[in-house]
Structure 1
């Protein structure tokens, strides 16, 4: 039995680490073309560069916008399953330890917010609490709950309310006010102005944006789907898992097409702007989910082909050090683009920023390989792991 467990564990970890590396890489590319949420388009750039910028911007957001973080959330739930399952096999309850682990993640997120207000770790640390009660539920109960959350129930309530009260006009998004305040301190050359501004205003801009765009419902649903994938061994190559991913490949593509087409025809069908905005949150959430699942299915199926696996496995070191890479890119990226650092926001459009992102990715990948040749975990992963299992009692292995 122990040998069987070890034989199925390695490939699962490999494909998940590679997939996580892919997600972090694509997040890095998006953050770079966004200048880490410092939106600015240099006017002096030649027209051909501006045209290329537009193509790159639209292409990257089509491929990765809302999908990369969705993959990250899916794997967050999967990782929880692995840790919880390992402890259950030892007869231990992981739930309170996981709560402490989330508190530590919150600390990492607050630190990351100093450099980049769009940090997602704080959101995951808070919403990840949902996994503590549901981990004891049946697969069916978890699946139904995840589907309900994915349906964006709050947005549907808004829609029904607007149907009953056509005269109702909701107020502006709260996040807009905080983003406006961000615009003031982003002009500063002082790092302290940025740090204080991010913690005081930028953090709330990100939180309210996530709330207004359905992330508070979508993320917990993805956590649960990831946990279910762990239970069903869907990242382990087998006839059953292959069939599952092939079905996902087909159905997610068929689901994505009409959802994506909605944004092109919705304004012609729905005249009520407030309702259109609410429905767009619902449709965009499902559209991103469908395309994300399509990408994951393609990745998992291709990973089983030896030639392709040799290429994709190169992302494993990057995925193993995802926490380190995520925070490192915020520190380096903000210094590159913000005015307290190199201030390249004034000189780079999407094309140049993507090239910078590619260079940063290659440098980080080299660092990951170098570090993991000498260590089992990345530096921040090591700290997180050690702090997770710290014990105040002597001779307490838990």
Structure 2
């Protein structure tokens, strides 16, 4: 019998774990300089540090803002492909199990939202439903659907409607209203005030912001593109995949430069704010996508160089425990900055926050490396995996067996 008969499961792709670790690391750094969505800029800092804070803030958001999340979404779709493919090789339909897995992810997101209202897991758990029907579609149909979603059809509809109706005045963003309400409970010293506020006011703010900024279209598009990357084996090093990523890098750079320039000068080109906002959301979405492709392509290509590989491979444990790390950073980070904990929000600008984020990253990656020496998965990954594949059939069979023995 061939080896494939014994090993039906697709092996882990090392570069994906490293790339996921990079995404989680950059998300952590952004969350830290944002004080985990508690926007406060201390005044009692020397002027030179305020200037440095601004440089760090703008640099990190240029590099990672909207891009780290996009990488995470791309890899979410890839992970679905791997799991679905493994089950198909066994002749099983994964879609029902994936639906249950998304429900579990919703629970993890709910836990995370207690500490950090900007949680993305709950949104992924809902938007991940789009993968259930499309996983049976052919590549062209999936790609076409992903492109349509990435084009931001809702914003184009709003844009043309406003062009045809100059008198139309759109309602203010709902997220601004909820973010304003968040300011009240963020002043509290009570953890319960934060938890309750995050789960209602904060959750509405985060979901509304994601809707208003096109994430409800962009995320499913990236899920589908990640699934296609899996189908085409583009994360597996080969002559064909290397050629693809080199071309992707070239095209992405070519597209990013004009898109970023257009985004920068858009307020000067379109006077009407409401119309400009819709176009800005579209251009920003495309600009972030292009830069994300630049980052992913570069990462994959340089990962194969031995000297750089040895360095980047250290991110693998961090990526393997991405769920644990994502939620842990929220728990620790909120305690560091929020007033129910250390309250460092009052004293730390972007410079201090970046240093804190780096220290937290070093501590987390050290923990991950130590943990995976004796465990195959991170703590929350293990729970998610076990709960995903829980079965009640054996228990029912056992009960029926006992009943038959008694009879």
TM category (shorter chain) comes to over 0.9
Q: TM-score scaled to structure 2, two decimals?
A: 0.95
CA contact (8 A) 2:146 2:220 kept: yes
Q: Which residue of 1 aligns with 2:196?
A: 196
Unaligned runs of 5+ residues in structure 2 are 397-407
Larger radius of gyration: 2
Distance 2:3 2:171 in 1: 59
Q: Which residue of 2 aligns with 1:23?
A: 23
Distance 1:50 1:327 in 2: 30
Report deviation, 1:345: 0.3
Q: Which residue of 1 aligns with 2:158?
A: 158
Question: Structure 1 5/187 Cα, relative in aligned 2: closer, same or farther at 3 Å?
Answer: farther
CA contact (8 A) 1:245 1:301 kept: yes
Report deviation, 1:5: 9.9
Question: Structure 1 360/4 Cα, relative in aligned 2: closer, same or farther at 3 Å?
Answer: farther
Distance 2:211 2:120 in 1: 12
Unaligned runs of 5+ residues in structure 1 are none
C-alpha distance after superposition, 1:252-282 (max 9, x if no partner): 0111011100123222221221110100000
C-alpha distance after superposition, 1:48-106 (max 9, x if no partner): 00000000000000000000010000000000000000000000000000000000000
Distance 2:24 2:274 in 1: 34
Question: Structure 1 5/48 Cα, relative in aligned 2: closer, same or farther at 3 Å?
Answer: farther
Q: Which residue of 2 aligns with 1:132?
A: 132
Alignment of 1:174-193 (within 5 A): 174-193=174-193
Alignment of 1:92-111 (within 5 A): 92-111=92-111
Distance 2:135 2:205 in 1: 31
CA RMSD, Structure 1 to Structure 2 (Å) = 1.6
Q: Which residue of 2 aligns with 1:2?
A: 3
The answer to whether 1:218 aligns with 2:199 is no
Distance 1:48 1:279 in 2: 36
Count the aligned residue pairs. Answer: 396
Question: Structure 1 4/229 Cα, relative in aligned 2: closer, same or farther at 3 Å?
Answer: farther
Distance 1:68 1:2 in 2: 37
Distance 2:60 2:122 in 1: 25
CA contact (8 A) 1:114 1:195 kept: yes
Question: Structure 1 40/290 Cα, relative in aligned 2: closer, same or farther at 3 Å?
Answer: same
Alignment of 1:1-398 (within 5 A): 1-2=2-3, 10=11, 13-394=13-394
C-alpha distance after superposition, 1:274-297 (max 9, x if no partner): 110100000000000000011000
Distance 1:125 1:373 in 2: 30
Question: Structure 1 8/107 Cα, relative in aligned 2: closer, same or farther at 3 Å?
Answer: closer
Report deviation, 1:47: 0.4
Distance 2:254 2:3 in 1: 41
SS in 2 for 1:394: helix
SS in 1 for 2:13: helix
CA contact (8 A) 2:56 2:350 kept: yes
CA contact (8 A) 2:252 2:294 kept: yes
SS in 2 for 1:114: helix
Distance 1:84 1:9 in 2: 10
Distance 1:5 1:239 in 2: 28
Distance 2:377 2:297 in 1: 27
CA contact (8 A) 1:8 1:236 kept: no
Distance 1:239 1:294 in 2: 19
CA contact (8 A) 2:30 2:65 kept: yes
Distance 1:62 1:305 in 2: 26
Question: Structure 1 4/97 Cα, relative in aligned 2: closer, same or farther at 3 Å?
Answer: closer
Distance 1:286 1:117 in 2: 26
Distance 1:303 1:228 in 2: 21
Q: TM-score scaled to structure 1, two decimals?
A: 0.97
